[in-house]
């Protein structure tokens, strides 16, 4: 029960409960003796009318004495001042977490109730907060409204921009006590430490595969659901990961952002640049456990290992001859089809294999092996 010291205060409160406002002459019960002519809105209290008028005048008479930020409502100022005092008067009755503003408490309580009022009109994914829906919709629109003032890199979320900006300020306050690696975010440090502990707290409820990061679990689940939320706006091809979409779009733009610092050859994938570098360094990190032969690419090692285990997975459907590599099968099938896809640009003679064309072209160049 709410108590009042003055009858006038009680009368004003009763006006609020009977109905606070009226729109365009539509009276929904209760007394509204204070109308506002500009927007036809009416109020039960004169104070509410005065406060409302500030929306039209732009007046902000309540200023914070700490940061000078101004507000048109006194209650808004009081809520704001909690950010300076650290006061958190709104307490969740389920988990006792405290908040500076009542609206934050209401939003938080949706975690316990499971309410998701805000639904994406593209993929029907639902969210408990409107801000989360707005951020999510950037996936579909490709919008990145938050731009770094130093390097012009754009982000879909303000929090990601703030984290990125620490790169320029060299602000890395969180240090790993095992390897001394530093991080701009405490959450990044916690995730990193799982490298040392081996912890994988995020488990797939379909196949029980575990991950050290929740983001990796979310991506993995798309294997089971078939979800592909990232769509190319040129050819409509869809992808399960945003990074795959970004890489794919380079097919249309011709962008090759990864350049070799030795020969300046450029690539659309960073992984291709890493593999290319091994031409210059001679690095062969993938070694066969049977004969110790080393390779610059993992795929070449896998192909080589079929020599030892007798694996020839690619079989000709005409003569049943089997091959270690699919490319060798394709070349072989030209024998049956009569196809000669390799043509000399000097005399138009055609060949079934590229190696035969290269050998033939020496006739024109007078090159002798």
CA distance 45 to 15: 7
How far, rounded to the nearest angstrom, does the alpha carbon of residue 121 sit from its chain's CA centroid?
Answer: 19
**Which residues are registered as beta bridge partners of 90?**
99
| Pair of tokens at residue 103 | 């609206």
Kindly tell me the burial class for residue 48, based on how many C-beta atoms sit within 10 Å of its own C-beta (0-12, 13-18, 19 or more). Answer: buried
pLDDT of residue 45: 80
- 360/344 Cα distance (integer angstroms): 8
Split into its structural domains, the chain has a count of 2
Is residue 322 within 8 A of residue 312, CB to CB? The reply is yes
Does residue 11 lie within any of the structural domains? yes
Tell me what pLDDT residue 20 has. 39
Q: What pLDDT is attached to residue 203?
A: 92
| pLDDT for residue 280 | 92
| CA angle in degrees (0–180, nearest 5) for 175-181-185 | 55
pLDDT reported for residue 25: 39
Residue 147's pLDDT is: 87
Q: What is the pTM of this model?
A: 0.38
Quick check: 177 and 189 in contact, CB under 8 A?
Answer: no
User: Would you say residue 83 lies in a domain?
Assistant: no
Rounded distance, CA 328 to CA 307, Å?
A: 14
* 47 found inside a domain: yes
Q: Minimal CA–CA distance to 31: which of 16, 41, 9?
A: 16
40, part of any domain:
yes
Domain that holds residue 24: 7-57
In a 3-state reduction of DSSP, which class is residue 284? coil
Report which of 136, 83, 132 is spatially closest to residue 108, judged by C-alpha positions: 132
* CA 88 – CA 99 distance, rounded (Å): 5
Of 37, 57, 77, the domain-final residue: 57
Position 31 in a domain: yes
Does residue 148 belong to any structural domain of this protein? Answer: no
Task: For strands 342-343 and 322-323, give the pairing.
Answer: unpaired
Look-up of token digits 């991506």 = 219
- 164 closest CA partner among 200, 129, 188, 136: 188
Does residue 361 belong to any structural domain of this protein? yes
Q: Which residues partner with 26 through β-bridges?
A: 23
pLDDT in tens, the chain (369 residues): 444 333 444 444 444 444 433 333 344 345 677 777 777 788 788 777 777 877 778 788 888 888 888 887 787 887 787 778 777 888 888 888 888 778 788 878 777 877 777 888 888 888 877 878 887 877 777 788 888 888 888 888 787 887 777 677 666 678 888 887 878 778 888 888 888 998 999 899 999 999 988 888 988 998 898 888 888 888 989 988 888 888 888 888 888 888 999 999 998 888 889 999 998 999 999 998 888 889 888 888 888 877 777 777 788 888 888 887 787 888 888 888 888 888 888 898 988 888 888 888 888 876 655
Nearest-angstrom CA–CA distance, 51 and 239 = 50
Q: Is position 229 within any domain?
A: no
CATH number of 318's domain? 3.30.160.60
């Amino acid at each position: 029960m709410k108590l009042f010291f003055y009858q006038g205060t009680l009368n004003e409160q009763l006006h609020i409960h009977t109905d606070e406002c009226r729109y365009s002459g539509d009276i929904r019960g209760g007394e509204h003796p204070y109308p506002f002519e500009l927007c036809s809105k009416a109020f039960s209290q004169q104070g509410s009318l005065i406060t409302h008028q500030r929306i039209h005048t732009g007046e902000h008479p309540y200023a914070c004495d700490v940061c000078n930020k101004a507000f048109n409502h006194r209650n808004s100022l009081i809520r704001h001042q909690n950010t300076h005092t650290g006061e958190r008067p709104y307490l969740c009755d389920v988990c006792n977490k405290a908040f500076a503003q009542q609206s934050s408490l209401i939003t938080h309580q949706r975690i316990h109730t499971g309410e998701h009022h805000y639904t994406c009109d593209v993929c029907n994914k639902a969210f408990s907060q409107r801000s989360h829906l707005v951020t999510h919709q950037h996936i579909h629109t490709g919008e990145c409204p938050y731009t770094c003032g130093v390097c012009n890199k754009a982000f879909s979320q303000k929090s990601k921009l703030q984290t990125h900006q620490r790169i320029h300020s060299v602000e890395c306050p969180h240090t790993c006590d095992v390897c001394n690696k530093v991080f701009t975010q405490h959450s990044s440090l916690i995730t990193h430490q799982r490298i040392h502990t081996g912890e994988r707290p995020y488990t797939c409820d379909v196949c029980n595969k575990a991950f050290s990061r929740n983001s990796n679990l979310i991506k993995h689940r798309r294997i089971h659901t078939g979800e592909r939320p990232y769509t190319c706006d040129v050819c409509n091809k869809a992808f399960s990961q945003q990074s795959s979409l970004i890489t794919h779009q380079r097919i249309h733009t011709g962008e090759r952002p990864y350049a070799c610092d030795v020969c300046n050859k450029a690539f659309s994938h960073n992984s291709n640049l890493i593999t290319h570098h091994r031409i210059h360094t001679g690095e062969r990190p993938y070694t066969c456990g049977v004969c110790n032969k080393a390779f610059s690419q993992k795929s070449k090692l896998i192909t080589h290992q079929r020599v030892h285990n007798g694996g020839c997975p690619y079989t000709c459907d005409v003569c049943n001859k089997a091959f270690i590599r699919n490319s060798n099968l394709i070349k072989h099938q030209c024998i049956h089809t009569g196809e000669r896809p390799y043509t000399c640009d000097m005399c138009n003679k055609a060949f079934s294999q590229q190696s035969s064309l290269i050998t033939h072209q020496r006739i024109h160049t007078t090159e002798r092996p």
